[in-house]
Amino acid sequence: MTNPLTRATAVVRPATGLIPSLGGASRDRLTTTLQYVGLAVVLVLLVALPYLGLAPYYVNITTTTLCSALLAASVNFLLGQAGLVSMGQAGISTVAMYGVAWGFKQGWDLGGQLLLALVLTLVVSAIFGIVSMRTSGIYFMMVTLAAGMLVFGLAYSMSSITAADTGISVDRPGDLNSRFNYWQWYYLALAVFIVGTAILWVVSRSPFGASLRGIRDSESRMRSLGYNVAAYKVGAFMISGFVAGMAGVITLWNNKLVTSDSASITNSTLPIIVLVLGGVGTLLGPLVGAIVVTFFSIIMPSFFERWETLLGVVFILVIMFARAGIVGGLGRLYRWIRRRTGGSVRTPDVGTPVPTSNHRTTA
């Protein structure tokens, strides 16, 4: 039996990072440099993508990938920082989609559509947060699952507003509807993706993020230190929900359609599959996971009908051999190589305990 207090001190993990921590606890210069170089390469690749001679179709597929990656990133924030598995995230993103789509149907301008989406997203995120703030673990999963299903049910039954499973069609903003504008649309989606990811990253690096990690590692300890754990959870849900809403808006514009199925259980569990594949708690995990899932679910079916089986096999393999996901697994591989070659690497999972003085600045 471990004393929860001492255990908590030992496992305050480094902040969310790249492979696996970007400028986190590791004071190893080379590692840090490599991580920034890696991030820069990914960013440059993403920005230069339409110019790499790829067919427009593959640029479109990348846009689709960015949409699911951003939704996964919002789940990643809750899971990686606060240790909470949200099973209803597609419910929040769907609410944002309906906000824009309903505004569009009424003939509102873009600002009005986005404002409605923002208000709806924040209200629904707050509701999600409030109903789930006293729970954790499996109960949190069940409560968020139920809340997500509630959105699905409402979208299904309020068909005079939502048009149920037939859905509401919208136009993309600006003049980006035609397939010949694929690259402008890609850049818009990329910009939203980068902003969303940056928001989550900045919040993760803040004292607020540190407090969330404290809650993740020992809720009872944080409570005894005087933190209002429930309020932190609601706050985390609002931030995650905001980004999920951003993901919803670009997903809506990408498909130009929202239906009640957008909030289905499949769409809520998909970000978790993406995350487990990519690597929970890593900055690039959602993107890498989304690339893998998109490959199997969109590119593969043209060649092989049993793509679901293949994705399942890959999922099992990742869980068996790389429990930290692809990005996390790469990080471990890197550390293993460094150790073998005699480099000094700090143990990854036991970072420097965050000084309590930092916590004080948060409230």
Partner 1 sequence: MSMKMSARGRIAATAGLGVAAALSLAACAPPGGSAGTGASSTPLATGTVKVGFIAPLSGPLAAVGAQFQQGWDYYWDQNGFTAGGVTIDVVGVEDDAADTQKATAAAQKLVEQDGAEILVGSIASNTATAISKYAADNEIVNIEPISASNDFTAENANDYTIRAGSQAATQTSYPGGEYAAKELGYKKALTLCTDYSYGWESCAGFAQGFTDNGGTVETQLWQPNGNTDFSALISQVVGSDADVIYFGTAGGAYGPNFLDSYLKAGGDVSKLFFNSSAADVATLQAATKAGYGDQIVGLYSSGYYAEGADAPEAAQEFVTSYLKDNGVIPGQYAAGGYFAASLLAKVFSEKGLVTGPDLVKTIQGFTFPDSIYGSVSWDSKNNQTSPVYIRQVEKHDDGQLYNDVVFTYDAVDQWNGRDEAKVIASHPFDKSNQYVK
Binding site for partner 1 (CB under 8 A): 15, 23, 36, 39, 43-44, 46-48, 50-51, 53, 55-57, 60-61, 64, 156-157, 159-160, 163-167, 169, 171, 175, 177-183, 187, 190-191, 194-195, 198, 201-202, 205-207, 210, 251, 254-257, 259, 261-262, 266, 297-298, 301-302, 305-308, 354-355, 358, 361
Expressed in percent and rounded to 5, the helix, strand and coil fractions of the chain are: 75, 0, 25
Q: How far is the CB of 226 from partner 1 (least distance, A)?
A: 19
Q: How far is the CB of 337 from partner 1 (least distance, A)?
A: 25
Backbone angles phi, psi at 351, to 5 degrees: -85, -175
Q: How far is the CB of 149 from partner 1 (least distance, A)?
A: 13
C-alpha torsion sign, points 202, 278, 152, 96:
positive
Q: How far is the CB of 133 from partner 1 (least distance, A)?
A: 26
108 or 156: whose CB is closer to partner 1?
156
- For residue 221, give the amino acid letter: R
Contact 186, 63 (CB under 8 A): yes
In three-state secondary structure terms, 201 is helix
Contact 336, 342 (CB under 8 A): no
46 or 146: whose CB is closer to partner 1?
46
Q: How far is the CB of 306 from partner 1 (least distance, A)?
A: 8
121 or 251: whose CB is closer to partner 1?
251
Question: What is the secondary structure of 34-60 as a DSSP string?
Answer: HHHHHHHHHHHHHHHGGGTT--HHHHH
3 or 305: whose CB is closer to partner 1?
305
Contact 30, 174 (CB under 8 A): no
60 or 218: whose CB is closer to partner 1?
60
